[in-house]
Amino acid sequence: MRNVSWVYLIGAVLLLVAPTVFYPVLLMKVLCFALFACAFNLLLGYVGLLSFGHAAFLGSAAYTTGLAMTRLSITPELGIALGVVMAAVLGLIVGALAIRRQGIYFAMITLALAQMVYFFCLQAPFTGGEDGLQGVPRGKLLGVLSLENDLVMYYFVVVVFVLGFWVIQRTIHSPFGQVLQAIRENEARALSLGYHVDRYKLLAFVLSAALAGLAGATKTLVLGFATLTDVHWATSGEVVLMTLVGGVGTVVGPVIGALVIVVLQNELADKVGPWVTVIMGLIFIACVLAFRRGIVGEMLARLPVNKGPRD
């Protein structure tokens, strides 16, 4: 337990001093995707559900917040709240449909429904089509504190991230989270113990969607735009990759994974151009074949306390 507190303390210090060393916008992007990956990991790592359509929640919130900020000129926290509500409602609809099937079908259904959201965003008259929404203002927090300064925005994003991360932590370690993990281990047994498995799954799905929405809404404020990339299936694939690289079912894994992938994409984009997709694909293949525990999973497995019969 003491080790865990140390990890968080070091993490907190790093978060506070990071913008003095690195470019704040890149850091904010990493944090948004880290939150996105954590939300996704809540489903895959703790309920055993592979959603291949999580971009729909990130993207719908991104568009909603973008629209709210440009059209209604409201404060950013309200804009984000609207985005989160949008993602949660969408999560309720998609989740209710998808949990009717298991395993591989669940993945295909979420992917297909997310593609529907993509087409909606492509065709709707108010989403800007191929261009997306541009020039979204960051506004003034609570009507007082302007977020236009990158450093101020950075610390706001840190607060959002920590809040989201904390919610996920609390969920995993709550009695509710324990039931979710029981469902992951053996759904039939959880059902026979009298748990309404479908309700638990749906609630977890909505929670995950809402948190993915929180990440998407915040990202729109950071970058000032929401585009079709946010709802594209490639983004759904990216969040799977981040979680896989960091370690599925580990608490910090998705954060590390998001850091690795976002920084890698940022570095590679200028140098190798279109090969980025190929490299992402190769990482995917390598992770699935040889590295299924991910970075954090491998590290945990090597800790002396975890050595022993438990794999």
Residues lying near other proteins in the complex (CB under 8 A): 50, 52, 97-98, 100-101, 103-105, 107-109, 111-113, 115-116, 119-120, 123, 233, 237, 240, 244, 273-285, 287-289, 292
We find the least distance from the C-beta atom of residue 41 to other proteins, in angstroms, to be 14
Least distance in Å: CB of 294 to other proteins? 12
Closest to 54 (Cα-Cα) out of 186, 240, 296, 200: 240
Question: Residue 20 Cβ, how far from other proteins at the closest point, in Å?
Answer: 36
Nearer to other proteins, 163 or 282 (CB): 282
Residue 185 CA: distances (Å) to CA of 42, 45, 107, 113: 14, 11, 18, 27
In angstroms, give the least distance from the CB of 274 to other proteins: 5
Q: Which is nearer to other proteins, 148 or 267 (CB)?
A: 267
Cβ proximity to other proteins, 88 vs 244, nearer residue: 244
Q: Give Cα separations from 138 to 37, 134, 152, 255 (angstroms).
A: 23, 12, 11, 24
Residue 50 or residue 206: which is nearer to other proteins going by CB? 50
Least distance to other proteins, CB of residue 220, Å: 24
User: Rounded distance, CA 299 to CA 306, Å?
Assistant: 10
- Min dist. Cβ of residue 58 to other proteins (A): 17
175 vs 274 by CB, closer to other proteins: 274
Q: Is the dihedral of CA 111, 112, 115, 116 positive or negative?
A: negative
CB 94 within 8 A of CB 206: no
* Residue whose CB is less far from other proteins, 2 or 271: 271
Structural contact between residues 180 and 46, judged by C-beta atoms closer than 8 angstroms: yes
* Cβ-based nearer residue to other proteins, 100 or 170: 100
Contact 56, 113 (CB under 8 A): yes
Return the SS3 of 232.
coil
CA–CA gap between residue 215 and residue 160 (Å, rounded): 8
C-alpha span between 54 and 40 (Å, rounded): 7
In sequence order, what are the residues at sequence separation of 6 or more whose Cβ sits closer than 8 angstroms to the Cβ of residue 298?
247, 291
Q: How far is the CB of 241 from other proteins (least distance, A)?
A: 8
What are phi and psi for residue 140, nearest 5 degrees? -115, 125
